Amino acid sequence: MTETAIEFVNVLKRYGSAVAVDKMSFSIAKGELVTFLGPSGCGKTTSLRLIAGLELPTEGQVKIAGRDVSRDPASERNVGMVFQSYALFPHMSVLDNVSYGPTIRGVPKAEARDRARAILDQVGLAGYEARLPSELSGGQQQRVAVARAIVQQPDVLLFDEPLSNVDAKLRRKVRAEIRELQQRFGLTAVYVTHDQEEALAVSDRIVVMKMGQIAQIGTPAELYEQPASSFVADFIGDANLIEGKVSSGTFHAAHLALPVRAADGIVTATIRPERIRLAKGGIATIRSASYLGSRMEYVVQDENLEFLVSRPISEPRLTAGDSVDLQIDPADLVLVR
Amino acid sequence: MTKRSVLLAAAAIMLAPAVPASAQGNELVLYCSVQEEWCRAMSEAFQRETGINVLMTRRSSGETYAQIAAESGQPRGDVWWGGTGDPHLQAAQEGLTEEYRSDMLAELQPWALQQAETSGYRTVGIYAGGLGFGYNTDLVTENPPACWADLLDARFEDDVQVANPNSSGTSYTMLATLVQLMGEEEAFEYLTQLHGNISQYTQSGSAPIRAAATGETAIGIVFMHDAVAQTVTGAPIVTVAPCEGTGYEVGSMSIIAGGPNPDAARAFYDWALTPAAQELGATANSFQIPSNVNSVTPDAAPRLEDVNLIDYDFALYGSSEERTRLLQRWDAEIGSLPQ
Amino acid sequence: MPRSGRCRSNRQRIPVGRFSLTSDRAGLAWLGLLAAALGLVPWYKGNNLFAGPAASALTEALAGRGWLWPMIAVTSALSIAALTRGWQRSNLALGLTLGAFALLIWQGFAVGLRGPSADWVGSAFPRAADGQTGLGWGGFLAGIALTGLLSDLFAARGFCRGERFPAFCITAIVALLTLFVFFPILRLGIAAFVDPTGALALGTFWARISAPDLWGVACFAGAGRCGVVVNTVVLGVLSASFATALGLALALLVNRTDFRMKRALRAISILPIITPPFVVGVAIILLFGRTGLVTSFVADLMDVRPTRWIYGLPGILIAQVLAFAPVTFLVLLSTLEAINPTLEEASRTLGARSMTTFRKITWPLLRPGLAAAFLLAFIESLADFGNPIVLGGGYEVLSVKIFFAVVGARYDLGNAATLAMILLALTLIAFWLQMRWMGKKSYVTVTGKSDAGLTAPLPPILKIAVFAVVLPWVLFTLAVYIIIAAGGFVTDIGRWDLTPTLSHLVTAFRFEIAENGLQLYGSAWDSMITTLWVAGLAAPLTTLVGILTAWLVARQDFAGRRAFEFGTMLSFAVPGTVVGVSYVAAFNVPPVDITGTAAILIICFVFRNMPVGMRAGLAALAQIDKSMEEASQTMGAGGATTLRRVVLPLIRPAVFTALVYSFVTAMTAVSAVIFLVSARHNMATAYIMGRVEAGEYALAIAYSAVLMIVMIGCVALIQLAVGTRRLGRRQELQGRPAADPAE
């Protein structure tokens, strides 16, 4: 994982006066699957298109396999891309769709078809070669799109929200397939999504983006456990953001007073809902209790602060109006500024 | 594949005529300003006689003059054959046409030679025709008009047509004729009165007589040979040579200066003045009087001898200045009158 | 796993280095073409392409035409610069290319046909006194090569996301638009301000433009005549009003009633598009002229003297309404279809009666469509030439007046140019208003949203009114076309001599099969054959340029796209008469000297009709997910391949529409063509006009009928060749719109 597959060096992309990608720099190692995650308008799709060559940077460099491709059009880069809408050619059969790329790049027609058949076999679509895309199910179309993208062994495989057109039940299965394929072929992949759960599930590393800038880069665990900002904490999973004050090694907010290692001043503390424990009888009150099947979710009010608390279903259930005590392990608290 | 071959075949059919873009040198570009039928007869006969491929365009004399003027930077035509003499004279005056003294000049009528002399041999007369009018016998059943003055009769209200002199040589000839016949002030007085009877100033010179032939109007003021042509094809038209006297046109021919095929142009010029060529008109339903003394005048043609002809001053009324002045006066005093 | 191993070995087939090499090669190829154009191919016109280097720019320059040297010198410098690595991104290369372009243009204008255009050129190059003729193969190839080179340099700088093909298309289309749309109009504009000797003549211009015969309004006071500009505007407003009303009635009939013969109605409304000009006017004269069928009948019935009421405003108005109603009909039909029926349903559930619903809901929603239809018809009326010239009588309009200013007895290009400028200004104002009203709506076809509810049926009073308007129109149209169908096959329809005959057809299309093959003697063959192959060449070119432009506008993101789009639309807005005059003014002299060739006809058609192909293409592309093209690009296909293999198959209907429209228009166009036909290249419409002018109505009608049949045959042929999209149900096409790039 030391060889660099993709590198952004101070990449800036401007549309008129609007900045979509603001001086981004990062690198992606070979064989890695990296996800761009962020709310809509954060620049994640633009970043992906900058790698593909469907957009060219206003400033800075995009490097693929060590080569500066900043001015190369998409057709002269070796990338594969799976589109949100799959973008299968409706007038071509599945086989023609998959053999399109090799044919364009000068592979003889017969060989291109052999290769396409092989890939289709790998994604489990053998026997569907002669069909038109409109005669396939959504999941099958998705697999054709993936097959088409990997058939020419691209330097990088790009996914633009590939699961947004797949119904919720299939998603888990399809994303596992994608991950499996990517690892089997040893491909470098970049994946764009706005769904944090999806991002956590498939990624080696995640780039969290906000307004064209990188909020944080890290493995899923790092992002979840050590968010660098309240934005990241809030965006990845659920988080309670507590505004408070640190004075002489103690964090104060409402009735809370927790020992922390931080300098004095105003800070925001974040804590995951499942890290808060509740005990009956206390000064906080349960405002609402929701039964979610696998767990209970409570909204707890403590003075002017509201906490979201998530407890396993096995614990004794509480109901709205109960008085509770909030129990927080200071080690679970992450302070951000 | 079949679709493709159909397309190819179609393309081949369409392109086929484009391929033999005939080599220059053995062709002649003829601008013709008489009736299409006559134009075709002339170009076919010349082509058959000489083997020179004739590319002919028929346009009115005004249009042709305009085209030659527009192309003066790079002339595309060789010979301008036919049409009223005035625009030919104007072209000669502006150097758009070339001086050429054909051996055939000796055989021509005096009025045809005079045209050549006036222009410094840049044009020559090929036929003549008197100005007059024709009336529809279905519409004018009694007391037919015989003179210019009769046209002012109130019973012809909205029933006379003549072309607009700005666009038609015929109508300009009428304007010039009336000015010479009556004097300028009186002529414009006459035209003002006539305006009350005019239903439309047409764009084309011979349109009025066609309108009369189909009954769209009762009287059309045109060259007499145009009226005769209608009668010959069966229309209820009677041709009238006005009793006060009338003017005439000398249909002319010029070689365009700097044309692409000067040799072929001269060959055509000489040939067009021969009796054989000039007698083609009658076969094409055109009854002008040929300019070669040896040519046979068609029987149906209105004889100039029978017409009270004025001494038309082609030099003066063919000049740009006089023409522009008269037309401007016409625009101001007649053209602007309410319909 | 063994499979993946095999793939890996194949990977060598996509060497990274190959791509940069291609980039360099394209630039060098253009440079090579430029060198060949300057050194190997004859520079001036009149020489065969293969005449060899004997007449090339280099040879000519050596022979004393020194004004060619700067261009050659800059090109040589460019070739040296191209030896360095990455030269395509250097400012030097760009500067030299632009310089070569400028010098190419300069050499063309510096020396005219008869000598130098400026004194200093004459003194610097003595041979300039001989003048020079128009550019030949060399000149045009040099222009193409420089355009290609320039686009390559732009692409290297990231223009069009670095794609060379779209960059080249944009550069080439801009160059072509400049040469064939803006340059002629500019030249014409200059002609309005200078006298024939070339001196500035503002006084003359002012006298012309303020002439009372342009702006007079005396006719409104009941005495005197109105100016030609006033006439034109009055005609336009009346014609557009009636055409819009008729179009609305037709649209309501088709969309809001259960009228049975909707298909027949649509078919009838298409007829005017394939009808050659003039014949409708002739048919109207035969019906309503003084000896016309209807006029005589009414005159006998009421015992009044038949009059010539049809000549002038009434006649032109009838012909124009007949011709433009289909256009307004189509615009209003799509507006009606786009109105969401739930709005009307809501109104009715709220208790409004049907008339109230129509007045308060439907009508306001229709208004933008009405305005658009009105302006469209107004623009068409301004540009119309065929009807006023046949039916105008004493009623003068601008297009006819321009024609006679050029071809009349007093040739006056200056006056024609002035009038053309006025006509252009009027058209552009209407066009601008139309763009504002319709905005982008005209591009997006209506999707099947309206099936959400039932459309409101028409209130009974309106229904009666609609039938009262449409029925006479149907009868009238039928009468006109019966005359067109029959008129060519009777002895003399003008005098109502109805003896059947084929003599007109024989006059026009006589042929003999002799020993030496087919001999065509008919008088119409020349123009028919020319028209067919000019239209046959123009149609695919028009479609190509139109669809290409649509694709560039819809899919490429480049600086100046709006201006580009507007420029292409402008060529559509310019009335045909103005185009004709401007082409005469611009292309009759070097450097681009193409008057009298078939090329000028084809070029004229391509740039006049291209916007229609463009609109069809834009509408089709709006329905196709952009990511399919992006997918093709990421798979290594350049713009050209993507266009050919992905886009074109998906927008076949638009290609078909564009082909048919451009073909038919080229067959029936007249206003621009009248100025451009020559002895060698005469067109059918010009021939028909000549026949109408000469009163040979029967021949004109016979020819027109044949022409219409030929057109229908050709359209069927195009259908066969292009075919229709053979695709089943496909949700992708109408799938989600392309992702916002800013996301």
Indicate which CATH number applies to the domain containing B192: 3.40.190.10
Residue in the block written with tokens 């219409």: C708
Domain A4-234 has CATH 3.40.50.300: yes
Residues C622 and C560 in one domain: yes
Say which CATH superfamily domain A238-336 falls into.
Nucleic acid-binding proteins (2.40.50.140)
Nearest-angstrom CA–CA distance, A217 and A44? 13
Same domain, yes or no: C343 and C434 = yes
Residue B164 to residue C615: CA distance in whole angstroms: 42
Q: Is B184 on the interface with C (CB under 8 A)?
A: no
Length of chain A measured in residues: 337
Nearest to C533 among B4, B14, B339 (CB): B14
Same domain, B93 and B228: no
C536–B331: do the CB atoms touch at under 8 Å? no
Residues C436, C308, single domain; the answer is yes
Q: B134 in contact with C at a CB cutoff of 8 Å? A: no
**Mean pLDDT of all residues belonging to chain C:** 81
Asked if A51 and A158 touch (Cβ cutoff 8 Å), the reply is yes
Whether residues C476 and C542 share a domain: the answer is: no
Q: Are residues C278 and C419 in the same domain?
A: yes
8 Å CB contact of C404 and B166: yes
Whole-angstrom Cα distance, residue B61 to residue B80?
A: 9
Nearest-angstrom CA–CA distance, B87 and B64 = 9
Same domain for C234 and C343, yes or no, is yes
SS3 content of chain C, % helix, strand, coil (to 5): 75, 5, 25
pLDDT at position A205, please?
Answer: 95
Assess C202–B contact: CB distance below 8 Å, yes or no: no
Q: Backbone dihedral region of C446: left (phi > 0), alpha (psi from -120 to 50 degrees) or beta?
A: beta
Amino acid letter, residue A26: F
- Whether chain B has a CB inside 8 Å of the CB on C532: the answer is yes
Q: Answer whether residue C196 is part of any domain.
A: no
Q: Which residues contact C438 (CB under 8 A, 6 or more apart)?
A: C368, C372
Q: B3 to chain C: which residues are within 8 Å by CB?
A: 720-721, 723
Q: 3-class DSSP state for residue B277? A: helix
* Cβ partners under 8 Å of residue B320, min gap 6: B90, B93, B94
- DSSP-based helix, strand, coil % in chain B, nearest 5: 45, 20, 35
Residue B118 structural domain: 27-128+250-302
* pLDDT for B22: 37
Please, which residues 402-461 of chain C have a Cβ atom closer than 8 Å to chain B?
404, 406-411, 413
B168 touching C (Cβ < 8 Å): yes
| C178 assigned to some structural domain | no
**Strands of C229-379, DSSP E:** none
Residue of C nearest to A14 (CA): C742
Judge whether B22 lies within some domain: no
Give the chain A residue nearest C557 (alpha carbons). A55
Considering only CB atoms, C162 lies closest to which of A72, A91, A158, namely: A72
Does C421 share its domain with C570? no
Q: How far is C227 from chain A, CA to nearest CA, in Å?
A: 49
Q: Which residue in chain A has the smallest CA separation from C628?
A: A87
Give dist(CA C694, CA A119) in Å, integer.
74
Report residue C721 CA to chain centroid gap: 23
Q: Which chains touch C (3 or more CB pairs under 8 A)?
A: A, B
In this complex, the residue of C290, C410, C595 whose CB is nearest that of residue B327 is C410
| Mutation for testing the C interface, residue in A75, A144, A146, A165 having most C CBs under 10 Å | A75
Q: Residues C250, C139: one domain?
A: no
**CA B84: distance to chain centroid?**
4
Cβ of C627 within 8 Å of Cβ of A15? The answer is no
Supply the pLDDT for residue C449: 37
Assigned domain for B1 exists: no
In three-state secondary structure terms, B28 is strand
Asked whether residue B118 is domain-assigned, the answer is yes
Residue B21 lies in a domain: no
Q: Do C649 and A83 touch (CB under 8 A)?
A: no
CA distance A7 to chain C (A): 17
In a domain, B142, yes or no: yes
- Does B199 lie at the interface with C, CB-CB under 8 angstroms? yes
* Number of independent structural domains in chain B: 2
- Asked if the interface predicted TM-score (ipTM) of this complex is over 0.90, the answer is no
Distance CA C673, CA C580 (A): 7
- Determine whether the interchain pair C636/A18 forms a contact, defined as Cβ–Cβ distance below 8 Å: no
Q: In terms of residue numbers, what domain contains C308?
A: 228-484
Is residue B309 a part of any domain in this protein?
no
User: Where along chain A do its domains lie?
Assistant: 4-234, 238-336
The contacts of residue A307 (CB under 8 Å, 6+ apart) are: A240, A273, A276, A284, A299, A300, A301, A326
Amino acid identity, residue A166?
V
Asked if residue C199 belongs to a domain, the reply is no
User: CB count, 10 Å around CB of C160?
Assistant: 26
pLDDT < 70 positions in chain C: 1-24, 47-52, 196-198, 223-224, 408-411, 437-456, 514-517, 519, 723-743
Q: Are B136 and B117 in the same domain?
A: no
CB contact under 8 A, C721 and B172: no
B214 touches chain C (CB under 8 A): yes
The residues near C536 (Cβ < 8 Å, ≥ 6 apart) are: B10, B11, B14, B15, C663, C714
**Chains in contact with B, counting 3 or more C-beta pairs less than 8 Å apart as contact:** C
Distance in Å, alpha carbon of A272 to nearest chain C alpha carbon: 29
Amino acid at C281: G
Q: CB A294: neighbour CB atoms within 10 A?
A: 8
Closest CB to A54 among C16, C89, C633:
C633
**Could A88 and C732 be called an inter-chain contact, meaning their C-beta atoms sit closer than 8 Å?**
yes
Instruction: Give the whole-angstrom CA distance, residue B316 versus residue B339.
Output: 31
Domain final residue pick, C103, C137, C157: C157
Contact C634 A49 (CB under 8 A): no
C64 φ/ψ sector (left φ>0, alpha ψ -120 to 50, else beta): left
Instruction: Name the residue among B208, B93, B98, B230 with its Cα closest to residue B156.
Output: B208
Could you give the CA distance from residue A80 to residue B316 in angstroms, rounded to a whole number? 85
Is there a single domain that holds both residue C502 and residue C480?
no
d(CA B203, CA B332): 18
The whole-angstrom distance between C566's CA and the closest CA on chain A is 20
From CA C568, how far away is CA A299, in angstroms rounded?
62
What is the pairing mode between strands A4-15 and B27-32? Answer: unpaired
Q: Which candidate from C219, C312, C411 shows the least CB-CB separation from B66?
A: C411
For residues C89 and C68, give the distance between their C-alpha atoms in angstroms, rounded to a whole number: 27
Which A residues in the span 214-233 are in contact with C, Cβ-Cβ below 8 Å?
none
**What residues are paired with A265 via a beta bridge?**
A246
Instruction: Give φ, ψ of C369 to 5 degrees.
Output: -65, -40
Domain count, chain C: 3
Give pTM, 2 decimals: 0.82
What is the Cα gyration radius of chain C? 29
Omega of the bond prior to C212 within 30 degrees of 0, cis? no
A147 in C contact zone (CB under 8 Å): no
State the best of B14, B39, B173 to mutate against chain C, taking most chain C CBs within 10 Å: B14
| Residue C508 DSSP SS3 | helix
Whether B17 and C529 lie within 8 Å, measured CB to CB: yes
pLDDT score, position C3: 39
Tell me which chain B residue has its CA closest to the CA of residue C584.
Answer: B70
Chains A and B share 3 or more Cβ pairs within 8 Å: no
The DSSP code sequence of C659-695 is: HHHHHHHHHH--TTHHHH--SSS--HHHHHHHHHHTT
* Maximum C-alpha span of chain C: 101
Give the whole-angstrom CA distance, residue C503 versus residue C522: 11
Q: Are C712 and C504 in contact (CB under 8 A)?
A: no
**Stretch 184-213 of chain A: residues touching chain C, C-beta under 8 Å:** 184-186
Among the three residues C99, C132, C157, which one is the final residue of a domain in this structure? Answer: C157
Cβ contacts of residue A337 below 8 Å, gap of 6+?
A267, A268
Can you read off the two tokens belonging to residue A165? 């057109």
pLDDT tens digits, A189-238 = 999 998 888 999 999 999 999 999 999 999 999 999 889 898 999 888 88
Query: What's the rounded Cα separation, in Å, for the pair C601 and C606?
Result: 9
Contacts of C290 in chain B (CB under 8 A): 215-217
- Do C520 and C410 fall into the same domain? no
Are residues C335 and C474 located together in one domain of the fold?
yes
**Of B85, B45, B332, B102, nearest in space to B223 by CA:** B85
Domain boundary at C115, C132, C157, which?
C157
- Is there a contact between C291 and B215 if contact means CB atoms under 8 Å apart? yes
Contact yes or no for C741 and A46 at CB 8 A: yes
C3 found inside a domain: no
CB B88 within 8 A of CB B252: yes
Is residue C44 domain-shared with residue C98, that is, in the same domain?
yes
Min Cα–Cα distance to chain B from C132, Å: 11
Contacting residues of C for A75, CB less than 8 Å apart: 163, 633-634, 636-639
Structure tokens at A330: 């200071």
No. of H helices and E strands in chain A? 8, 19
User: Could you say which DSSP state residue A283 is in?
Assistant: E
Give the rounded distance of the alpha carbon of A46 from its chain centre: 15
Chain B residues with beta carbon closer than 8 angstroms to that of C532: 14
CATH label of the domain that carries residue C293 = 1.10.3720.10
Both B183 and B259 in one domain: the answer is no
**In angstroms, rounded to a whole number, what is the distance separating the alpha carbons of residues C489 and C484?**
10
Phi, psi angle pair for C406, to nearest 5°: -90, -45
| Rounded Cα–Cα distance for residues A156 and C220 (Å) | 76
- B235 plus B268 within the same structural domain: no
Count of A-C CB contacts under 8 Å: 167
User: Do the Cβ atoms of C720 and B3 come within 8 Å?
Assistant: yes
User: Which residues from A are below 8 Å from C6, CB to CB?
Assistant: 118
What's the half-sphere exposure (Cβ side, CA atoms, 13 Å) at B197? 23
Phi, psi of B81 (to 5 degrees): -115, 125
Same domain, B192 and B331: yes
Residue C636 to residue A75, Cβ atoms within 8 A: yes
Alpha carbon of C252: minimum distance to chain B alpha carbons (Å): 39
Residues B241 and B256 both lie in one domain: no
A18/C649 CB distance under 8 A: no
Rounded Cα distance between C535 and C528, Å, is 10
Determine which helix (DSSP H) or strand (DSSP E) holds B283, and give its type and residue range: helix B280-283
Residue B197 lies in a domain: yes
Residues of chain B with pLDDT under 70: 1-25, 339
Residue B2 inside a domain? The answer is no
Q: Are residues B66 and B86 in the same domain?
A: yes
